[in-house]
Amino acid sequence: SQKIEQNSEALNIQEGKTATLTCNYTNYSPAYLQWYRQDPGRGPVFLLLIRENEKEKRKERLKVTFDTTLKQSLFHITASQPADSATYLCAPSNGYNKLIFGAGTRLAVHP
Amino acid sequence: DGGITQSPKYLFRKEGQNVTLSCEQNLNHDAMYWYRQDPGQGLRLIYYSQIVNDFQKGDIAEGYSVSREKKESFPLTVTSAQKNPTAFYLCASSIRGSLGSNQPQHFGDGTRLSIL
Q: Is the link from the previous residue into B104 a cis peptide, with omega within 30 of 0?
A: no
A46 touches chain B (CB under 8 A): yes
Helix, strand or coil, per DSSP, at residue A100: coil
In this predicted structure, what is the pLDDT of residue B53?
95
Whether residues A46 and B40 touch (CB distance < 8 A) is answered with no
State the average pLDDT over residues B6-30. Answer: 94
Between A76 and A9, where is the model more confident?
Answer: A76
Q: What is the pLDDT of residues B31-83, one digit of tens each?
A: 999 999 998 888 999 999 999 999 999 999 999 999 999 999 999 999 988 88
C-alpha distance from B45 to closest chain A C-alpha (Å): 8
Chain A, residues 56-85, CB within 8 A of chain B, namely none
Under an 8 A CB cutoff, do B4 and A42 touch? no
Nearest to B97 among A44, A97, A100 (CB): A97
- B101 pLDDT above the threshold of 90: no
**Could you read off the pLDDT of A39-91 as tens digits, one per residue?**
999 999 999 999 999 989 999 999 999 999 999 999 999 999 999 999 999 99
User: Is the pLDDT reported for residue B98 higher than 60?
Assistant: no
Residues of A in contact with B99 (CB under 8 A): 95-96
Determine which helix (DSSP H) or strand (DSSP E) holds A16, and give its type and residue range.
none
Averaged confidence pLDDT in chain A = 94
Q: Under an 8 A CB cutoff, do A89 and B101 touch?
A: no
Query: What is the rounded CA–CA span in Å between residue A54 and residue A28?
Result: 18
Predicted local distance difference test score (pLDDT) of residue B96: 79
Say whether A101 and B43 touch across the interface (CB within 8 A). Answer: yes
Whether residue A97 is predicted with pLDDT greater than 60 in this model: the reply is yes
Q: Which pLDDT band, with edges at 50, 70 and 90, does A99 fall under?
A: confident
Q: What percent of chain A has pLDDT over 70?
A: 97
B31 touches chain A (CB under 8 A): yes
Of A49, A95, A104, which is closest to B104 when you measure between CB atoms? A49
The β-bridge relationship of strands A11-14 and A105-110 is parallel
* CB-based contact, B30 to chain A, within 8 Å: no
User: What average pLDDT is seen over chain B?
Assistant: 92
- Give residue B97's pLDDT band: very low, low, confident or very high (50, 70, 90): low
Q: Name the helix (H) or strand (E) containing A75.
A: strand A72-77
Closest CA to B81 of B59, B61, B64, B60: B64
Could you say which of B41, B102, B108 has the minimum Cβ distance to residue A97?
B102
